[in-house]
Structures are given as structure tokens and as C-alpha cells.
Amino acid sequence: MSGIRLSDESITTASTTDYSRSRALQPRAHELIPGGAHTYAKGDDQFPVEAPGFMVRGKGCHAWDLDGNEFIEYGMGLRSVTLGHAYPSVIEAAHRQMQLGVNFTRPAKIEVDLAEAMLELVDGADMVKFAKNGSDVTTAAVKLARACTGRDLVAICADQPFFSTDDWFIGTTQMNAGIPAVISDLTLKFRYNDLESLRSLFDQYPDRIACVLFEAEAMTPPEPGFLAGVKALCDRKGSLLIFDEMITGFRWHIGGAQKFHGVTPHLSTFGKAMGNGFAIAALMGKREIMRLGGLDHDEPRVFLLSTTHGAETHALAASLEVIRIYQREDVIGHLWRAGERLRDRVDRSVAGHGLQRHFKVLGRPCNLVFATCDAEMKPSQEFRTLFLQELIRRGVIGPSFVVSYSHSDADIDRTAEVVHQALEVYRKALEDGVGRYLEGRPVQPVNRRYNQQGALQRCAPNASDRTKPIFVDPGE
Ligand SMILES: Cc1ncc(COP(=O)(O)O)c(C=O)c1O
């Protein structure tokens, strides 16, 4: 059975795709698991009502749900699967390593092998420490910066959606129940491409900011001099610059956005693409900072990423193979080309439908997202949901347009055809009202305070600006 139906488009309001097995399992999932899933961004509230509930298999950029429906996927493992699902040589490398044992009483040799491989990729980093999750390494970077500087405050970028599951960051979001204000008050925010906003934090809190942590680039490219300006400001103020390379790493460049933009931070954090979906992340940085987590100094010791599963051998083996593939093959070039091809075709469709003011593709080709606005040009979760619904109905599951090495020209062209049809519905919904075409409730922001609340809050940072479409964060 296939969910991909690309032929003659007729605008229907009832999906004919069978999700009966998914529907039967969903209540059980919610009974057993808070939120029904282990990542909020995968949750039922992030997708239209008419969507697959559970996936069972993937190959390349295709994935199959519990009912046997096939989809072309975008985003793929919250942007961690950059090569493709079940990528043979990565799976084989992990499998070979598993057969040798996954966890020992003393370190495994492969810990040193991957350390060498990663340090060759990232300029300016002398030491590395591995973990299972990106959140753990960004939190470790913050702890290290605080220990190293003896300061308590952290400055993060207000315009970027996510850095960690830990209290120092989640405490600053809408979903901060259970986190004392005394912790969230230690995290300050500055604006991207606004050096003055960072400078004023340093003026307001002299000698108190331990680090400045952000993604060198997310949706908006840095203005000339911005990143270098932040670095110079950090150096002048005795604060550490930390680049979160969870998304940019192995996408902008194998050496991260820091290499792409030519600005070297004191510390940086990698994850996601490092393991093509296997759980592996890395904190990387200068020796004089990183060594505080080691055994060869007389300073107070920093408890730096010491976990039972931190260096599980098969994830390290998977990562080594991922690096080998990136070094042998032009993976990054493919990500950019595939994204560019998709953007070009979607932009043409948008123009063809006259939707330029309502639907926009944003970001670098290797990391594309889309923004949806309603008839009044307001960012709209309803229209986002409708668009997702119409993609899914035609066999594309795309909370973003983030591509992988496995997205072929044929996959991209097929997706473009589906997008064209979905935008036709979008256009009609602008005229007739979205309610006529949307089945069920709209999607919701991941980071909201209450389960039931207004659907527009996701667009918060720029919600008052009605003239330009806003990036609707997919919560990844
Ligand atoms: C920019 C960024 N930093 C950190 C994280 C946290 O990574 P993880 O989910 O592996 O803990 C994410 C996850 O989406 C992210 O997008």
C-alpha cells in the first residue's frame, strides 16, 4: 500500500489513506508515555489529524508507517539522519562494533579513534568529549564556561529556538513548569545580528557573563562582521564564545558553521548528523578550557560529561563511518544542491499560485524551512497544518524541507509536484476559509505553557510584524 498519490489532483476534504493501525495504537501510546512519544517535536500535536501515527521502517529518504503507507520524508530524525535511513555502511560499522561489545570497564580504543577524527575536522579544537545527546553537551559547555570564568550568567540568542533540554535553557521558555526562577534568571537573551543588544548585556552585567552561546547561523545569515564582532566582544569581556553546531555541523560544512564563516569559538557542540541518527554528540574546544574536566590540573575539578552510556562503542563506530563517507563523497554539496533544486521548484510554484506573500521558503539550501501566513498576512498555524495535511495526503511528510544525501532528483521533483498540488489547496483556502479544507485542530507550538492554548504563539518573536512571513519553528 502506498500513501504516495501524485496523479490528477482533485481537492478533497476526506483523506482516503488508511491509518487504522496507527489510530488503534495512539491511545495506548498516550496511556503509557507522557505525550505519546519521546520527543515533543514528534508528538501528535505537531502534525495534522490526518497523519501517520507511528513509523516502522525507513530506507534512504523514504519511510513507511504502521499501516504500510510510504512517505518521502523531510527533517528525518529531527535533522540527525543526513545520509539516509538504514544507510548500509553506517549500519554495518555499528553492527561490527556491537559484536565486539558495547561498553567495558575501561575506555574503548575507539573513543580515541573518533576523538582524533573529530579533532581533525574542527579547527581550533584541541580536545573533545562525547555524550549521547546534544542537550548534554551544550549544558556541559555552559558548566565549563562558568567554572572557567567563575561567573554565573549565560547569554543566549533570543531568535533561535532550542539549545538544551536542561533547566538553564528550558527555564527561559513557555514550558518552564518545575524550574525555579532562580535558575532561569541566570540566562539572558540578545538578538541575532544585533551586536548592540549583546554589548548592552555586558554593560548591564559587568564581569558576570560566563559565555555567549548561540548557533552561528540558523534561519538568517550573519551580517558582515557580526560573528567576528561577537568573538571580539567575548574576548574583550573575558567571556567564552560557544557555537551550538547541532544543526549546522555536517550541513553547512563538515567543520561546522564556524569553518563556513571563518570564526573560531572557544567551545562548540556537535551532535545530530555526527551519527546519522545514532546517539552521539560532542563538546569540543580549546585545551586550556577543556582540561578542567581532566586529571592534570590543580583547579577545582569540573564534572564534565561522565555517563554510563556516553561512549557506547557502536555509536562511535557509526560516527567514524559517517565521517569517512563525508570525506570520500560530496555529501555537503549534495545537501546544498538538493535543497536548491527543491527551493527553486517550490518558489516557482508559489509564484505560479500568486502566494508569495503567504508562503515562503526560508534558510540555507541544506536546511530549508517554510513559513505560512493567512489571508491577513499573519503567521498561521492553521495554514501550516493545512499545508502539512495536503503534503501527507500525497505521500510527503515534511515539517520542514530539510533534505538528506538520499534525496534524489526524482524525490525532489516528486515532492515539488506534491507541493504544487498542496499550494493549490492553500490558495483556495485563502479564498474560502481554511476551515473548509483543514481536517481537525491545528498544530501547536512545542514550547507552550498549557496544552490547550492559542495556536499563534509559536510565532511570538515577531508576531506583531504583519508584513513579513515568520519562520514557523518546527520545534526540532
Ligand atoms: C540547535 C540545537 N541545539 C541543541 C539541541 C539539543 O540536542 P538533543 O536533542 O540531541 O539533546 C537541538 C535539538 O534539536 C538543537 O536543534
- Whether pLDDT at 242 is above 60: yes
pLDDT, position 238 = 98
Residues in the chain: 476
Q: What percent of the chain has pLDDT over 70?
A: 92
pLDDT tens for each residue of 311-369: 999 999 999 999 999 999 999 999 999 999 999 999 999 999 999 999 999 999 999 99
> Does residue 134's CB lie within 6 angstroms of at least one atom of ligand 1?
yes
Helix (H, G, I), strand (E, B) or coil at 98: helix
Best residue for ligand 1 mutational test, from 137, 157, 163 (most atoms within 8 Å of Cβ): 163
Nearest ligand 1 atom, CA 165: 11
CA of 80 to the centre of ligand 1 (A): 10
Q: Is the pLDDT of residue 471 over 60?
A: no
The answer on pLDDT for 456 being more than 80 is no
pLDDT at 100: 98
For residues 117 and 124, give the distance between their C-alpha atoms in angstroms, rounded to a whole number: 14
**Ligand 1 centre distance from Cα of residue 13 (Å):** 36
From the CA of 337, how far away is ligand 1's center (Å)?
25
User: How is residue 22 annotated by DSSP?
Assistant: H
Structure confidence at residue 16 (pLDDT): 67
Cβ atoms 259, 230 nearer than 8 A: no
Q: Which three cell numbers stand for residue 90?
A: 553506517
**Across the chain, what does the average pLDDT equal?**
92
Question: Is the CB–ligand 1 distance for residue 133 below 6 Å?
Answer: yes
Mean pLDDT of 175-195: 97
Cβ of 269 less than 6 Å from ligand 1? no
| 245 CA → ligand 1 middle, Å | 9
d(CA 136, CA 132): 7
Note the pTM of the prediction, 2 decimals.
0.92
Q: How far is CA 401 from the centre of its chain?
A: 12
Confidence of residue 476 (pLDDT cuts 50, 70, 90): low
Residue having the nearest C-alpha atom to atom 13 of ligand 1: 476
* Tens-place pLDDT, residues 91-134: 999 999 999 999 999 999 999 999 999 999 999 899 999 999 99
